[in-house]
Chains A and B, each alone.
Chain A
Amino acid sequence: MSMLVNKPHHVAHHFASEAQEFESARLGMWVFLVQELLFFGALFVAYGIFRWWHPQMFIEAHHYLSWKMGAFNTVVLIASSFTMVMAIRSAQVNERKPLISYLLLTLLFAGVFLGVKYIEYMEKIHHGLLPGHFFSAQGVSEYLHLFFGIYFTMTGLHGLHILVGMGLLVWLLVRAIRGEFHSEFYTPLEMVGLYWHFVDLVWIFLFPLLYLIG
């Protein structure tokens, strides 16, 4: 069946070998992730400063978040990371069908994550727990709105990364179905995988820092 024939990969003209091409892509991805790390890092610095300033306010604020949803989403993201590595592994051992199903699963988990986030956001909007100008809720600390400024910026940017990741996953799926990934070539899979795990990584910190302040 033509569907199952692996398409050979051609090394771009300016590279000497496939190894050079792969390593370049991977280094490029890591350097890009380093950039992402500082991008989010700055937000964590801001978080740290305001938490240092208003510890009581942070404790109050986190009660307005649902740790159950946060925990659920953490599990979902971890699962999606797992399916992502399994997808890459399937390509490495030339298993086309599992590759496609793992990619689909990853996409599904990403969707679930965003769905839960949507429910959480709607609830916050409903209660008026929003950044400064839109904040309209009651509270004990007069700095409460700051927490939600930080919360929405951090989770919003993280959500945006998930959204971009979903776009990339769809692109991978199309290429996987066309048979472009196999043991000899799976660079794009590996790169998106790195990105995806990084997004997971950010959430691993966001979850305890936003939902579990004790």
Chain B
Amino acid sequence: MKNDNHASHHVIVPVKTYVAVFVALLILTFLTVFVAQFDFGSFNLLVALIVAMVKASLVVMIFMGLKWNKSFDRFAFFACLIFLFIFFLLVFVDIPLRSYRGVEESQHINLKSPVKLIAPGEAPVHH
């Protein structure tokens, strides 16, 4: 059982690494909340996503061990992200580019909205 195969797949990661990642994740969480206070206009989403992606990479590479796991697992995971991206991309080739001839964009004709409408200034009852 102590063949080379075995050894290569059972990496024992030092506690230090795990703690470092843990701390980094906490800091990044703080950072997301913090940057959300500022308004970067349309970059808000981008900033939030970049931070989230950094956090995600830490979890995937260290906690889930893809950094040491050089087998097909790694390929499978990243290849799948490409499929997800394709899904996003092609749906977005449709919806934002549709032409609503004669009608204002995405204006609905017969919306049965359950929302009790109030004017923008008014405070809603909740909160």
Determine how close the nearest CB of chain B comes to the CB of A23; give it in whole angstroms.
6
Contacts of B109 in A (CB 8 A): none
Q: 6 A-B pairs, CB-CB below 8 angstroms? A: A38-B83, A75-B26, A127-B126, A193-B63, A201-B60, A212-B32
Closest 3 CB pairs of A and B: A127-B126, A208-B48, A212-B36
- The chain B residues found within 8 Å of chain A, CB to CB, are 1, 3, 5-6, 9-10, 12-13, 15, 18-19, 21-22, 25-26, 29, 32-33, 36-40, 44-45, 48-49, 51-52, 55-56, 59-60, 63-64, 69, 71-73, 76-77, 80-81, 83-84, 87-88, 91-92, 95-96, 106, 111, 113-120, 124-127
> Do residues B125 and A82 form an inter-chain contact, with CB atoms below 8 A?
no
- Closest residue to B10 on the A side, CB-wise? A92
A to B contact number (C-beta, < 8 Å): 181
> Do residues B1 and A45 form an inter-chain contact, with CB atoms below 8 A?
no
**Given A136-B114, A143-B113, is A18 in contact with B124 using a C-beta cutoff of 8 Å?**
no
Interface digits, A41-82 against B, CB 8 Å rule (1 contact, 0 not)? 110110011001100000000011001000100110011011
Contacts of B32 in A (CB 8 A): 207-208, 212
Contacts of B3 in A (CB 8 A): 17, 19
- Closest residue to A48 on the B side, CB-wise? B88
> Do residues A71 and B33 form an inter-chain contact, with CB atoms below 8 A?
yes
Complex interface residues of chain A between 120 and 145 (CB less than 8 A to chain B):
127-129, 132-133, 135-145
Interface digits, A196-214 against B, CB 8 Å rule (1 contact, 0 not)? 0110110011011100111
> Do residues A142 and B111 form an inter-chain contact, with CB atoms below 8 A?
yes
> Do residues A213 and B44 form an inter-chain contact, with CB atoms below 8 A?
yes
**Given A137-B125, A201-B59, is A19 in contact with B113 using a C-beta cutoff of 8 Å?**
no
> Do residues A145 and B114 form an inter-chain contact, with CB atoms below 8 A?
yes
- Closest residue to B6 on the A side, CB-wise? A19
> Do residues B26 and A78 form an inter-chain contact, with CB atoms below 8 A?
yes
Determine how close the nearest CB of chain B comes to the CB of A29; give it in whole angstroms.
8
In the bound assembly, the distance between CA atoms of A194 and B76 in angstroms comes to: 14
In the bound assembly, the distance between CA atoms of A26 and B64 in angstroms comes to: 11
**Given A78-B26, A79-B22, A214-B36, is A38 in contact with B52 using a C-beta cutoff of 8 Å?**
no
Contacts of B29 in A (CB 8 A): 71, 74-75, 78, 207
A33 contacts the other chain (CB 8 A):
yes
A30 contacts the other chain (CB 8 A):
yes
Residue in B59, B80, B84 whose CB lies within 8 Å of A200 = B59
